[in-house]
Chain A
Amino acid sequence: MKREVTLQVNGEPYTVIVDTRETLLDALRYRLGFLGPKEGCGNGNCGSCTVILDGAIVDSCLVFAVEAEGAEVTTVEGVAVNGQLHPVQQAFIATGALQCGFCTPGFIMSAKSLLERNPNPTEQEIRLALSGNLCRCTGYDKIVRAVMTASQALAKVA
C-alpha cells in the first residue's frame, strides 16, 4: 500500500510516496538519493545502514519509512557542515580507519553519536558503543583510534 511521508533529512524537508513495506533505508537511498547508508544484512546485525533518527542512532533497515513521519533524520551526507568535514570524518581519514569504505558511513554516524553522548570515552566504551557496526577490513583497531583522536579534537574545539 502507498502512503505519503513527510520528514526532514539532513536539515531539509522532503515528502515522498512510499510502499508501506519500504524501510527508511530504502526510502533514503532510492526515493531521496541518499546513497551513503548501505544495506549489508537487512536485519540489524551489521550497522551499515546506521542513521540518526530523532537524535538517536538506529538501523534504518529495521524502520519502516512510514514510521519516520515527522521525524528528523541525519545521514552521513549531513555530517560535514558547509563542506567542512566533521572531526570524526577527519580522524577516520588521518588514522587510516577505513579500507573498502562500505561500513564507514555507519561507523561515522555511530561514532559521532557516541561522542555527543560521551565526549571522553575509554577504549572499552568505544568498543562497546561501536559493537553494532561490523567491519571486515580493518579489525577495528584504527577505527577505535580514530574515535579517540576525534574525541581529543572535539575537546579542543569545545
Chain B
Amino acid sequence: MREFAYAAPQNLQEAIELLSRAPDDGRPLAGGTDLIVQMKERRKNPSLVVDVKRIPELNVLTWDERQGVRIGAAVPCARIVAFAPVRERYPALAEACGLIGSVQIQNRAALGGNFCNAAPSADAVPPVLVYAGTLVIAGPTGRRQLPAEEFFLGPGQTVLGKGEMLVEIALPPPPALSGAAYLRFIPREEMDIAVAGVASFIRLSADRRRCEQARIALAAVAPTPVRAREAEEFLIGKPPDETNLAQAGELAARAANPISDVRGSAAYRLELVKVLTRRTLQKALERLV
C-alpha cells in the first residue's frame, strides 16, 4: 500500500478544502469496504484519505411525509435497514442494503460509498434510481443536486469533480398505489457480487387494472447502472399480468449490455435480467400501497 496522510474533519467545508487542495489522488473514506480493498490491491493509491464519518451532514437519516427520506452519504447500510421509515416505505432500498456483503460489511459500508465507488454491480443504486432519488453534491463552488442516474459515467467513474463530495441521497415520498422491489442473482446465498440485479417500481391506476408508471433499473449488466426505458414504456397502460411482466423482462434485457467475466457470461446475465425483472415487478405489485 502506498503511504498516505489521514484527516478526519468534523465539518463539510474542511473536508472539501482538503480534497480540493490535495494532489489529484485524495479520496473520501466512509465505510472503507471498497476503498481499503482497492488500496491494499494498489488499484487506488491516494496520497490523502479524508475520513468523512465525523461530518454531521453526511450522517443525516431523516424522514417526513412531505420530503421523503434523506440519507447522509456516510450512513452505513445497517443503519438504513434499521430505520423504520425506510423498511416500511422504501422496502427495495432496505432489501438492497441488507444484501450487500455480510453483517460486518453492512455495519460499515455506506450508501454514499456504494454510489461513489460506482461499480456497475452496486446493489443499493438501482433502488435509489427507481425511487427517483436525487443526490446532493457539495464542492468548492457550492452545492448542486442531480437525479441519481446522472451520477455515473462509467465503471468506477462519476461526475464528481475535484474537491466535490457526495453529501446526501434523497428519495421523495413514493406515490399511492405503488410498490418496488430489488432482487439480485448470486451463485451463493450471501457474500457474492451481483451477477445481475434489478430494481422495479410500478404504480397502478386508481382501479388497479393498468400500470401507470414503471421504473426498472439494472445492475451489473452494463458499464453503469441503467434504466430499462423500453420496458418501462411498454408497461404503461397495460394490465400488470404475467404475460406483460414477462414481456417487460424481455425488453429490459435489451437495455443491458453485459460483459462476460468470472461471475457470469453475458448471455446468462441477459437471461437473469429477464427473470429478475419479472420477479421484482411481481414482488412490487404484492407490495402495492
A–B proximity contact (CB within 8 A): yes
Known: A1-B5, A21-B3. Contact between A58 and B107, CB under 8 A? yes
Verify if B190 is at the interface (C-beta below 8 Å from A): yes
A44 to B104, Cβ gap below 8 A? yes
Verify if B83 is at the interface (C-beta below 8 Å from A): no
Verify if A128 is at the interface (C-beta below 8 Å from B): yes
Chain A residue at minimal CB-CB distance from B47 = A1
Contact string against B for A residues 24-64, beta-carbon threshold 8 Å, 1 for contact and 0 otherwise: 00000000000000000011110100100100111100111
Set of chain B residues within 8 Å of A63, measured between Cβ atoms: 32, 36, 108
Verify if B267 is at the interface (C-beta below 8 Å from A): no
Known: A43-B40, A44-B33, A56-B107. Contact between A21 and B53, CB under 8 A? no
Set of chain A residues within 8 Å of B104, measured between Cβ atoms: 44, 47, 50, 57-59, 110, 132
From DSSP, what is the main secondary structure of chain A's interface residues?
mixed
Provide the bound-state CA to CA distance between A1 and B53, in Å. Answer: 21
Known: A21-B1, A44-B37, A57-B107. Contact between A132 and B102, CB under 8 A? yes
Q: Which of A19, A53, A62, A132 contacts B36 (CB 8 A)?
A: A62
A28 to chain B, nearest CB (A): 15
B110 to chain A, nearest CB (A): 13
Verify if A69 is at the interface (C-beta below 8 Å from B): yes
Verify if B49 is at the interface (C-beta below 8 Å from A): yes
A1 to B6, Cβ gap below 8 A? yes
Provide the bound-state CA to CA distance between A19 and B49, in Å. Answer: 13
B186 to chain A, nearest CB (A): 11
Q: Which of A56, A62, A110, A114 contacts B78 (CB 8 A)?
A: A56
List 10 A-B pairs, minimum CB-CB distance, nearest first: A132-B102, A131-B190, A56-B107, A20-B6, A132-B104, A59-B104, A43-B37, A21-B1, A66-B6, A62-B36
A interface residues, Cβ below 8 angstroms from B: 1, 3, 19-21, 23, 42-45, 47, 50, 53, 56-59, 62-64, 66-67, 69, 110, 113-114, 128-129, 131-133
30 contacts between A and B (CB under 8 A): A1-B4, A1-B6, A19-B3, A20-B3, A20-B5, A20-B6, A43-B37, A43-B40, A43-B41, A44-B37, A45-B191, A47-B102, A47-B104, A53-B107, A56-B78, A57-B104, A62-B33, A62-B37, A62-B105, A62-B108, A63-B36, A64-B32, A64-B36, A64-B49, A67-B8, A67-B51, A67-B53, A110-B104, A132-B102, A132-B191
